[in-house]
Chains A and B, each alone.
Chain A
Amino acid sequence: MHVDATEKKWVILSFAMAIAMMGILTAYALNKNIHPPSNVEIIDSTTLHLSDEFNEDNLGIKQAEDGSLTITMVAARYGFFPHNMTVPVDTPVKIRIASADVLHGIHTANTNFNTMIVPGYISEVNTTFRIKGKHPMFCNEYCGLGHDYMWSQLNVVSQEEFIASLKKGDE
C-alpha cells in the first residue's frame, strides 16, 4: 500500500478541520446552551380545542407570575393562530405550538425561531427576538394546496409598548 506524504498531511488536515467544526458547535451547545428545538411531548391533535393548553381562549402570549413569557399557538390549514402577535424585544420567550391537522413548519427570518410542527407532538422553542419591527412568520413545510397562503405577523416592540399592549388586551 502506498500513501503519498503530502496526501497524508492533507488527510490529517481534513480530520482537523472536521474536528474543529464539531468542537465549535459543541462549545456553543455546552457553554451557551444552544440546541435545536427538541421537545419530546405528545398530544392528541384531533382534540386540541378541548385541551387546557391549546383551546382557543388560551392562545396568544401570556405572562406568568414570575414574569416569564409564553406564547401558545396552533397551526392549522391554512394559518397560525393567533394571526397577529406582539412580543417585547430582547426578552426571552417560550413558544409552544401544536398542529391541528397535518405537518407544518414555522420560521421567522433573522431569528432563531424555526421549528417543525408535527401532528401528535408539541413543539417548543425558547428564543429572544432582537430586531424590532414587523416580521412575517411563514409556514415552511408543504401542508396542502393552501401552503403558501399560510403565514402570520409577529410584531417585535419595545418593552414599554409591550406592557401597554398587554394592558389594552385586558380591558
Chain B
Amino acid sequence: MYAHASKLSLANMWVAFITFALAALMGVYQVAERSGMFPKIEFIELYYRSVSSHGVIMGFVLTTFFIMGFGYWIIHTTLKRPIWGGERMGWTGFGISLGGTALAAILLFAGEASVMYTFYPPLKANPLFYVGATLLVVGSWVWCLQMVMSMNAWKKENIGEPVPLAMYAMTANAILWFITSLGVASEILFQLLPWSLGIIETIDVGLARTLFSWTLHAIVYFWLIPAYIAFYTLVPKAAGGTLFSDEISRISILMLLVFSVPIGMHHLYVDPFQDAGWKFVHMIGTFMVAIPTLITGFTVFASMEVAGRLRGGKGLFGWIWALNWNNPMVLSGGLSLLMLTIGGWGGMVNASYSLNVAVHNTQWITGHFHLIFAGTAVIMYFSSAYYMWPSLTGRPLFSTKMALLQLWLWFIGMLVLTLPWHILGLLGQPRRIGVAPYSEEVTAPWAPYEFLMLIGGVILFISALLLILNLVLTHFNKKADTPPVMEYAESMHPVINLPKLLNGFGFWTAVIVIYMIVSYGYPILQFFTMDTIGTFPWSI
C-alpha cells in the first residue's frame, strides 16, 4: 500500500518538475531576448508565446501538481490511513488536470493563447485554452475534496486528537484553493468561454477583472502555504530541534486562510470601475494578512534558535553558526526566510493604498513576485522534493552536495535577477515588454540592470538543471534503500486541550463566506445594476 500511495504523489511531482524544467528554459530565453544583446533572437511573437507559457506553467502547473503530490503524501505520512475516496479517485483528478494541462500547453506552444497567464479580456485566446485551464482546476478540486474528507475521516477515528499540523495546514490550503478558484472559474464559465465561442457577443471587462482579482491574491497563499508547512514541520526537524509552538502555527494558518481571500481588489488599485472606498477596505485586509507572515517568521527563527542551542551554539548569534547548514532543508529554510524578508518589504509597497501607483505594472512587480514566489516559496518546494524523494522512490538522494550547490545558486541567481528588476521598475520600465524599442535616451540608464538580469537568469537556469539531474539520478539510483520514514517536527510543548476551533474549519469557512459577501458582494453586483457596455473580442 505504501508503494502505491507514493506512486500517486510521485506522478504529480514529476509533472510539476518536468514542466518546471521546460519553463526554466523559456525563462532564460526571455532574459536573453530582453537584454537586447542578441538581436538574432528578438522575435516578438515568440517572446509573448514564451512568456505566456512560462507564466502558465510556473504559476499554475508546477504549483498545482507539486501541491497535490505533497498533499497526498502528507495524508499518507501523517494520518497513516488510506486516502478518502481511494487512490483511484486521486488518479482520476490527476488525469483530468494533466489532460487540461496538455490541452492548454498545445495551444500555448502553437501561439493560439499568447494572452499571458492572466488572460485578461478582451484579448481572446483559442476557446480550447480556456477549456484546458478549467480542467486543470477541476482536477485539483478532486484533490481538495480528498484532503478535507480524509482529515474528517481521521478525526472521526481519533476523537479529540489534534490533527497533525502538516495535515491541518494542507487541508486549510485545499479549502483556500477551492474558494479562491471559484472566482476565475466563474470568469471562464460565464464570460470567457461563451464569449470566445461566439455564444455571447461582448463581455464586461470590469466584471472579468473583478472576478479574476478574487482568485489572484489568495492563489499566492495557495503557493506559499506548502513552504510554510516545510518551515513549521520539516525545517525544525532537519535542524535537530522542535517546533516552537504548534498552536500559534495553527493560528497563523487560519489567519492566512481567512484574510487572504477577500482582499484581491488590491490588484485593482489603479483600475477604474471600482470605487476608492472598496479598495480601502481591501487594503485593510491586506495588511491584516501580513500579521501571520510576521508571526511565522518568529516561530521559524525561534525553532531554529532552539535547534542551534541544542547543538551547542552560545551567545546572541552563536546559535546561527551552530546550525547544520549542510542540510538542504536547513539551508533552504534560511535562504527562503532571507528572500521573504527582502521581498516582504517590497510587498508592503505594493500593498500601500497610496504608494502602489509608484510601482504598479512596472518591472518592479515582476521582480517582487519572482523573489517571493519563485524564490521564497519555490526554494522550499526544491528542498521538500529532496527530502521526500528518498521516501517516495525508496532510493537515497543521489548527491547532497549537488543539492546544496543548487539551492545556493537559486538564491544567488534570484537576487541577481530580481533586485535589478526592482530598480528597473522604479526607473519606469513597464513589465511584459520584449524588445524595449523606446528611444536611446529612455533605455540607456536601463542597460546595466538588464545585463545583471541576464546573468541572474543564466545562474537560475543552471540551478534548475542541477535540480532535475539530482531528482532523476535519485529516481534511477542503483543503490536501493528501504524507504526512510517521513518525519515531521514535534511541538516543543505537547499539544493538549486544543480548542476545537484550532482543529477544524467549519466555523472559519463560514467566516470567509460572510467576509467574501461583505467585501466582494457590492463590487460584483454593481456591474448588474450599472448600465455597462460590453467589449468585443480582439486577437493579439
Interface residues of A (CB under 8 A from B): 1-4, 6-7, 10-11, 14-15, 17-19, 21-22, 25-26, 28-29, 34-46, 101-103, 105, 107-110, 112-124, 134, 136, 138-145, 147-149, 151
A75 CB to nearest chain B CB (Å): 12
Among B295, B360, B428, point to the contact of A14 (Cβ < 8 A): B295
Type the 1/0 row for B340-359, where 1 means its CB is closer than 8 Å to any CB of A.
00000000100011101110
| Contact residues, B190-245 vs A (CB, 8 A) | 204-206, 209, 244-245
Q: Is B538 an interface residue (CB 8 A)?
A: yes
Cα separation A41 to B354 with both chains bound (whole Å): 21
Q: In the complex, what residues of B have CB within 8 A of residue A21's CB?
A: 287, 290, 348, 352
CB pair B538 A102 closer than 8 Å: yes
Q: Is B531 an interface residue (CB 8 A)?
A: yes
CB pair B540 A44 closer than 8 Å: no
CB pair B279 A38 closer than 8 Å: yes
Among A17, A114, A122, A138, point to the contact of B294 (Cβ < 8 A): A17
A114 and chain B: residue at smallest CB distance: B357
Given contacts A26-B280, A110-B428, A120-B204, 12 further A-B contacts (CB under 8 A): A7-B244, A15-B291, A21-B287, A21-B290, A38-B274, A40-B273, A103-B123, A105-B361, A107-B362, A109-B362, A114-B360, A148-B432
Q: Is B314 an interface residue (CB 8 A)?
A: no
| Contact residues, B277-307 vs A (CB, 8 A) | 279-280, 283-284, 287-288, 290-291, 294-295, 298-299, 302
Cα separation A123 to B248 with both chains bound (whole Å): 44
CB pair B428 A107 closer than 8 Å: yes
Given known A-B contacts A144-B123, A148-B435, A29 and B280 have beta carbons under 8 A apart: yes
Q: In the complex, what residues of B have CB within 8 A of residue A121's CB?
A: 205-206, 272-273
B251 CB to nearest chain A CB (Å): 8
CB pair A29 B426 closer than 8 Å: no
CB pair B123 A122 closer than 8 Å: no
Q: Is B430 an interface residue (CB 8 A)?
A: yes
CB pair A42 B279 closer than 8 Å: no
Q: Is B498 an interface residue (CB 8 A)?
A: yes
Given known A-B contacts A1-B498, A18-B291, A151 and B438 have beta carbons under 8 A apart: yes
Among A41, A103, A115, A123, point to the contact of B120 (Cβ < 8 A): A103
Q: Is B497 an interface residue (CB 8 A)?
A: yes
Chain A-chain B contacts (Cβ-Cβ < 8 Å), number? 215
CB pair A25 B123 closer than 8 Å: no
CB pair B205 A140 closer than 8 Å: no
Given known A-B contacts A136-B438, A140-B431, A11 and B295 have beta carbons under 8 A apart: yes
Cα separation A121 to B532 with both chains bound (whole Å): 8
| Contact residues, B480-511 vs A (CB, 8 A) | 493, 495-499, 502
B428 and chain A: residue at smallest CB distance: A109
B529 CB to nearest chain A CB (Å): 12
Among A42, A114, A144, point to the contact of B361 (Cβ < 8 A): A114
CB pair B206 A118 closer than 8 Å: yes
Interface size counted on chain B using CB atoms at 8 A: 84
Cα separation A140 to B78 with both chains bound (whole Å): 46
Given known A-B contacts A14-B294, A118-B272, A145-B44, A29 and B120 have beta carbons under 8 A apart: no
Cα separation A2 to B243 with both chains bound (whole Å): 13
Q: In the complex, what residues of A have CB within 8 A of residue B302's CB?
A: 4, 6-7
Type the 1/0 row for B105-130, where 1 means its CB is closer than 8 Å to any CB of A.
00000000011100011110000000
B441 and chain A: residue at smallest CB distance: A134
CB pair B279 A36 closer than 8 Å: yes
Q: In the complex, what residues of B have CB within 8 A of residue A120's CB?
A: 204-206, 273, 532-535
- For this complex, 16 residue pairs linking A to B, each with C-beta atoms less than 8 Å apart, are A2-B245, A4-B245, A7-B244, A11-B248, A28-B354, A38-B279, A40-B530, A107-B428, A107-B430, A109-B427, A110-B428, A114-B361, A119-B205, A148-B433, A148-B438, A151-B438
Cα separation A123 to B274 with both chains bound (whole Å): 11
Q: Is B442 an interface residue (CB 8 A)?
A: yes
A63 CB to nearest chain B CB (Å): 24
CB pair B357 A4 closer than 8 Å: no
A139 and chain B: residue at smallest CB distance: B430
**Candidate in A113, A123, A138, A143 with the most chain B CB atoms within 10 angstroms:** A138
A47 CB to nearest chain B CB (Å): 9
**Candidate in B120, B209, B496, B530 with the most chain A CB atoms within 10 angstroms:** B120
Q: Is B45 an interface residue (CB 8 A)?
A: yes
B50 CB to nearest chain A CB (Å): 13
B59 CB to nearest chain A CB (Å): 15
B283 and chain A: residue at smallest CB distance: A25
CB pair B272 A116 closer than 8 Å: yes
Cα separation A25 to B285 with both chains bound (whole Å): 13
Q: Is B48 an interface residue (CB 8 A)?
A: yes
A51 CB to nearest chain B CB (Å): 12
Q: In the complex, what residues of A have CB within 8 A of residue B533's CB?
A: 42-45, 120
CB pair B44 A103 closer than 8 Å: no
Q: Is B270 an interface residue (CB 8 A)?
A: yes
Q: Is B536 an interface residue (CB 8 A)?
A: yes
Q: In the complex, what residues of A have CB within 8 A of residue B273's CB?
A: 40, 118, 120-121
CB pair A145 B276 closer than 8 Å: no
List of 9 A-B pairs having minimum Cβ-Cβ separation, nearest first: A109-B428, A140-B361, A148-B433, A38-B276, A140-B430, A14-B294, A114-B357, A35-B276, A36-B269
CB pair A37 B270 closer than 8 Å: yes
Q: In the complex, what residues of A have CB within 8 A of residue B540's CB?
A: 144-145
Q: Is B271 an interface residue (CB 8 A)?
A: yes
**Candidate in A21, A120, A149 with the most chain B CB atoms within 10 angstroms:** A120
A25 CB to nearest chain B CB (Å): 5
Q: Is B437 an interface residue (CB 8 A)?
A: yes
Q: In the complex, what residues of A have CB within 8 A of residue B354's CB?
A: 25, 28-29, 34-36
Q: Is B434 an interface residue (CB 8 A)?
A: yes
A77 and chain B: residue at smallest CB distance: B538
A80 CB to nearest chain B CB (Å): 13
CB pair B434 A148 closer than 8 Å: yes
Q: Is B436 an interface residue (CB 8 A)?
A: yes
B224 CB to nearest chain A CB (Å): 17
